[in-house]
Structure 1
Amino acid sequence: MFYNEAMSHHTYAMRAIGRGSSSNDVSRFDRLSRTEEDDGWDAGEPLAPLRTEVSLEVPRRIITYNKSPDLPFDRSINAYRGCEHGCVYCFARPSHAYLGLSPGLDFETRLVARPDASQVLQRELAAKRYRVAPIAMGTNTDPYQPIEKDHGITRACLQVLSDTGHPVAIVTKGTLIERDIDILSDMAQRGLARVGISVTTLDAKLSRLMEPRVPAPKRRIEIIRRLAQAGIPVRVMASPMIPALTDPELEAILTAGRDAGARTASWIMLRLPREVSPLVQEWLAQHYPDRAGRIMARLREMHGGADYDARWGQRMRGSGPYAEMVAQRFNVAVKRLGLKTAGSPMRCDLFRPPVLPGAQMSLF
């Protein structure tokens, strides 16, 4: 193989079996692109599938703050960069460009773990200027993606939050969260924890195509059941809803979540920021060419003719007749099912800053 300045989608597609994206275009910050071209020397030899690579990072800070009025939290923790789940629609893919990596296949195969995250979290919570408020986990990449089994960073951070009486809200698709039911159930009893489980579709075949390394839909419903049985407040998250593909399942998803024990529900329309749009359009052309045009037309109707509108109040659900129709369907369904759209506030009065090694302990 040799390299030139254009990407070979065919080459990557052959190596991307079991991945969400089938291409690896360079990030928006790179001036040059590269490709693999067949020079004939290895003709007939199968191309090796892409393997997951994990590098380590020592973060200076682990809590990220935001001022978005669209979000119900102002701070979050992400133990990993990139996500092996490989959801083709993931709005976080463009963040990989800041690492000099592609939001395509790099995002799901070249991951970054932050093993010192729990120690850094302790330092930040111990700072005199810190003021407690619920911390969100899973806002950018899934805290319970497969590599958590080996690294255990999410559990370590969760233990710090439990020990300090700090409230946490988690969003995940991963079954590994069941490993941490011991910590989460104890926190839930103290009003310190709640979990959102994202269910995009109940169709196992569709799920495997667009989120290839995520637990099957039935398994995610079972996660809701097991968490609820442990006394942990659970939200069923019907997101993202994809027009003419998954949004017909909205009511069925909410019903399945409620029947499994979810107390609250939410929904978000498909978002296509930056590099996500071409990735999703490529995926649609490959798997659903008969409705790709209709899906994109609906999305553009909701965003003023553009693939995406990043303005606050617009980016999560869009606007116009189609967006309003989906919102109405959601409202009718949650009322009929007895679901709520907001849970009880979590407690912040139990927080006690951690005592760092070498620090003088409080006498009171």
Structure 2
Amino acid sequence: MSDEFTQLPGINESGGSNVGVTCVAARSALHYHDKEQPTRWDLNVYRGCTHGCRYCFARYSHDYIGSGDFFGHIVAKSNLPGLLHRELSRSSWKKEAVNLGGVSDSYQKAEASMELMPEILKIFIHHSNPVLISTKSDLILRDASLFAQLSVKAEVRVAASIITSNDYLASLLEPGASPPSHRFAMLKAMKQQGIKTYILLMPVLPYLTDTMEHLEAIYQKASKANVDGILAWPLNLRGQVKPAFISFLREHFPALVPLYLGLYDRSEVTGPYLKSVMEIVAELRAKYGIGTIPRFKTGKSDEQQMSLF
């Protein structure tokens, strides 16, 4: 199904700077799943991601489908705009909110040259369909006017994934993403366009980003950017994420390895540690008047409504 292959700068598994992009013809645009995470409908423009996040859980989906290096081999679904228009035109479609990039960031480096998102957003505008998106890239500002147009016709939520306000630490954890300072600026600019903005403070990293000082720095900058809500939760080390992240710690923060191995006897933190982190988050919410992320309005009953993230 591959019809084109190009190279662009980015991060790959071996630490190299060349990332391959293959264009393919997808069979469908929208994908349904039983769990509301955050909606039941996803549209993934790309497979693979150039951000290279050291805690990434999605990279192993590439292994499942046999697509190779998640960070170094990007698959672009170049026919998505036409498929999306067809699917949103169906009489059975109920204008449910669509998550733009449930697995891979829609505004990763590949999008700068592929430019698939403007056409996709124009289709959502045409159909007045609500969307939500989370990104680690300020490239999304290129399409700010399109998000603003859609927000007049349907609900739009733009979130930035920000787990630290420290640009240097972020460069270690998310080497291919925009610096956090750029993401805060993006949120402020989107808010000025009248768009609802949020922060995904996920994951909170034990012993790295979990202190009151570290988390408060994010809430301070979020307050200055006038964001509408923040959702925070600690790191999950399920499956192959654990050995990958422990390997990262051994390279950059070796003293933390035994602490992590002691804390993560299972895939997620529980008990006193989880309680302590969420108490800090609750205190910061109250101090800065920034709540969590509200439920997404879908026109369904309260029992059927979905949470955003």
TM-score, structure 2 as length reference: 0.87
Partner of 1:174: 137
The answer on whether the counterparts of 2:50 and 2:176 sit within 8 Å (CA) in structure 1 is yes
* Correspondence 1:282 to 2:266: no
Distance of 1:101 and 1:187 partners within structure 2 = 34
Report the identity percentage. Answer: 28
Partner of 2:224: 259
Distance of 2:44 and 2:82 partners within structure 1 = 14
The answer on whether the counterparts of 2:84 and 2:120 sit within 8 Å (CA) in structure 1 is yes
Secondary structure at the residue paired with 2:70?
A: helix
Partner of 2:47: 81
Distance of 2:169 and 2:186 partners within structure 1 = 19
TM-superposed CA distance for 1:19, in Å, is 3.7
Partner of 2:159: 196
Q: CA RMSD in A?
A: 2.1
Structure with larger Rg? 1
Distance of 2:45 and 2:202 partners within structure 1 = 22
Partner of 1:334: 285
* Correspondence 1:117 to 2:68: no
Distance of 1:148 and 1:111 partners within structure 2 = 10
**Letter of the aligned partner of 1:255 in structure 2?**
Q
Partner of 2:270: 319
Distance of 2:228 and 2:118 partners within structure 1 = 24
Secondary structure at the residue paired with 2:254?
A: coil
Distance of 1:81 and 1:345 partners within structure 2 = 26
Tell me the matched-pair count: 290
CA deviation string 1:335-357 (max 9, x = no partner): 221112134745669xxxxxxxx
**Letter of the aligned partner of 1:199 in structure 2?**
I
CA deviation string 1:310-347 (max 9, x = no partner): xxxxxxxx421111111121122112211121347456
Return closer, same or farther for 1:273/1:242 CA change in 2, 3 Å cut-off: same
In the TM superposition, what are the counterparts of 1:104-183 in structure 2 within 5 Å?
Answer: 106-183=69-146
**Letter of the aligned partner of 2:53 in structure 1?**
C
TM-score, structure 1 as length reference: 0.75
The answer on whether the counterparts of 1:64 and 1:77 sit within 8 Å (CA) in structure 2 is yes
Partner of 1:41: none
Return closer, same or farther for 1:164/1:338 CA change in 2, 3 Å cut-off: same
TM-superposed CA distance for 1:128, in Å, is 2.7
5+ long unaligned stretches in structure 2: 1-8, 301-309
Distance of 1:210 and 1:195 partners within structure 2 = 22
CA deviation string 1:45-103 (max 9, x = no partner): xxxx451001112111121112225x33111111000001111111111111123244x
Distance of 1:296 and 1:334 partners within structure 2 = 30
Higher strand share: 2
